[in-house]
Structure 1
Amino acid sequence: MKIFANTIVNNEENFIWFSIMSVVDFVDKVMVWDSGSTDKTVEIINEIKKIKGNKIEFKEVGTVDKYQFTQMRQKMLDESKCDWILILDGDEIWWEDSIKKIIKTINERSAEIDGIVVPMKVPVGDIYHFQEEAAGQYQILNRKGHYSLRVINKKIPGLHVDWPYGKESFLDKKNRLIQKREKIIFIDAPYLHVTHLQRSSFKRKYDKFKYELGKRVSKDFKFPESLYLEYPSIIPSPFGKISGLSKIKSQLLTPLRKIKRRLL
């Protein structure tokens, strides 16, 4: 089975290296399209290209609005000449064991499944603190929490993308959400989703940074392997700790966020 990662980025300099490096050796190609980054994202992707060569297909598309983003996602889907796509955002970093489980499942069960849902670990405050599961609002396969459809069979009839950024979704020919099809399975193969951390030193158009402090991980916790690899000096350490006013603000807001979640 041929598997392509589909990656659209915009100002992702802090984590894009670790994201791509976490999957590039396990998929056939990583398609990376930049939508007008003004930070070092493009420079970093070009550094990855020097190492991984033709496994990286890079294109600078330019700035897009939330409707053009969906059109770009559709065009990327159309140009993905493969059997399966892995949706890989610039804030998603995979453990090797998890991505290997995904590849193994695809190779063994491709004919009988349409997509794969997986859990995610969501740091908040800094990489050492994980958001509570109650904060996860995704409802898939009778589960609610930090879950996401990340792998899709390209042979689904009428597979397409619709709705503007923030709500954009993959649908079939009946305009049914792919995650609502019968042949969607869950695999316990988590990835690290750093969406609520600082992803760039530059302003991001659709930023999801949160002032919140989650539960601290244990001292022997193992992060995705790509975070321990050598990386270019232009990339800040992913292991920075929250401090100063940011920590104080997060400590003050965290209880309020938890109360709000339980009331809604």
Structure 2
Amino acid sequence: MSLPIVRTVHALRTLVTRWRRAGETIAVVPTMGALHEGHLSLVSAALARADRVIVTLFVNPKQFNSAADLAAYPRTEEEDAAKLAPLGADVLFAPDGEEMYAPGFSTTVSVSGVSEGLCGGHRPGHFDGVATVVTKLLLQSGADFACFGEKDFQQLHVVRRLARDLDIPVEIIGCPTVREGDGLALSSRNVRLSDSQREIAPRLAEILFDAAARLAAGAEADATLAASRSALMNDGFDMIEYLELRDETTLAPVGRLTRPARLLAAAWLGDIRLIDNVAVSP
């Protein structure tokens, strides 16, 4: 069974109108393609909540800080559609750049506060690109639910904030990070890791989980984070962008663990940037 693919907003809205008239609920799963089991888990979560599921595939140029990174991002639409078909998704929305950003496009959605620091501090404009395209996809799909992975934890906060602030009637669902057997968080960029880098990469999750356990047991935050940064460098990471403890709900920096928090990190192996986060409870 093949998965229907639509490429225009008009075609997507025609489907949505038909489903709405039938009284059906709709979920959307925004992706940039190169689908892995993490993405497929989001589709499964969407299928559990709604009668109809739209998966979007658009490599959004506005959220890339590097032209080389944009060019290197894998484009695997045919393989992605084949992975989605058995799950029961209803349609793949795969617009081109001009359909999403018509000539003369001049609007940007910018979310302050939760977008600052962490990835936002190291990737200027990234979350403006995310917020703009996600706003468009939510409005284009008219979805009741939208599923996003917790691996991109700051992004999840940005999306929740924009939906709330702009009164978009959608429930944003955060879904757990899916990991390889050795703990490495699934990412479309993992396929670019060399054999030696792939051996090092799982240490990011190991060190975060270890730090989270020590913090939960009462360890002092600054010393624990400093030790974790040193461990990452000693294990072969080339650069640490950040490793921080943030409030689970507000993303405000946390100096002492008194309420649920997240330990978030971004680190580089060669030219590949890995991110991860783990929950920390007092």
TM-score, shorter chain, exceeding 0.5 = no
**Relative contact order (alpha carbons < 8 A, sep ≥ 6): 1 or 2 greater?**
1
Question: What's the TM-score, normalizing by structure 2?
Answer: 0.29
Give the helix-richer structure, 1 or 2: 2
Question: What's the TM-score, normalizing by structure 1?
Answer: 0.30
**Which has the higher Rg, Structure 1 or Structure 2?**
2
